[in-house]
Structure 1
């Protein structure tokens, strides 16, 4: 269960202010159909994070425990720095060929592509490598994505006006930094 809860928290915080959260707001504003957008986010996240988790499992098997500890620790520290860089959305990615795919299909494709190489996908790779429990990591990372994106679909601009994204990114960076330090020092129950 630890893999589930850590994955949920790390991804939910990492997703705040991320380009895919901005994409959720953009899709909601454009189509005003929250249910297919939310289902699309869920499907895209499950596919993307399952792939990321499988890569994480492969990395764990290929590297060995000592090298893996250093790779994961340094990855979490790199994620801490990356959290301090604000995301912007590539609007060309978001809403092409809606007539062909519909709102659900557009959301699935846009979210899957936007999440490729994204902070939360990289975090999912590292978490899967760390915990070795693909199902719990993917379930947790998917829940984290949904916790961050469902409110964005329904509340969008109203939430963004009231929450300081700089503060959220700073807290997220501190959490990633702590996870990295704990991993490198082999400290605590988490690692």
Structure 2
């Protein structure tokens, strides 16, 4: 349950102002069909985070605990800094030509591609490796992604413009620093602190 709650909150906060959230906003403004957009975001997230969670769980099984602990510390430190860098939606990410795939297919494909190498994908790998748990982490990161994107899809610019994005990013950075500190404690004293 701990992995699920941490994954949900960290990804939900990390997604605020992220390029995939901006993509959700663009998709909602362009197509004005929230249900297929939400389903497309859900499917793309589930596939992407499922693969990321599997990679994290695999890394946890093949890396020595010492190396894994230090990799998790480094990933949380990098995420604490990276979350403070504002995202912009690239033209390549915003290619939204409606084709034979329809709104759902266009959303799923575009969102999946935009999520590749994104903060939330990296966090999913790190959390799955840290907790050695696939299902709790993937369910949590997917829920966090949906909690951040569904309101944007429904409420569009009105909602996005009112969010204190900078404050949310600072809060997310603090959470990453805390998680990194806990992971550092585990890396330094693995016998005394096997989990957060």
1:139 aligns with 2:149: no
Structure with greater helix percent:
1
Shift of 1:90: 1.6
Q: 1:33 to 1:188 in 2, by over 3 A?
A: farther
The answer to whether the 8 Å contact 1:11/1:141 transfers is yes
The answer to whether the 8 Å contact 2:23/2:93 transfers is no
Residue number in structure 1 paired with 2:59: 59
Residue number in structure 1 paired with 2:11: 11
Distance 1:145 1:190 in 2: 25
SS in structure 2 of the partner of residue 40 of structure 1: helix
Q: 1:126 to 1:142 in 2, by over 3 A?
A: same
Deviations 1:56-82 (A, max 9, x none): 011111211111111101110110000
- Give unpaired runs (5+ residues) of structure 2: 187-191
- Give unpaired runs (5+ residues) of structure 1: none
Distance 2:64 2:9 in 1: 26
Residue number in structure 1 paired with 2:161: 161
The runs of at least 4 consecutive aligned structure 1 residues that moved more than 3 Å come to: 187-190
The answer to whether the 8 Å contact 1:84/1:169 transfers is yes
Q: 1:2 to 1:189 in 2, by over 3 A?
A: farther
**Alignment RMSD (CA, Å):** 1.4
SS in structure 2 of the partner of residue 94 of structure 1: coil
The answer to whether the 8 Å contact 2:8/2:140 transfers is yes
The answer to whether the 8 Å contact 1:95/1:106 transfers is no
Distance 2:132 2:40 in 1: 27
Between 1:87-96 and 1:55-64, the stretch displaced more is 87-96
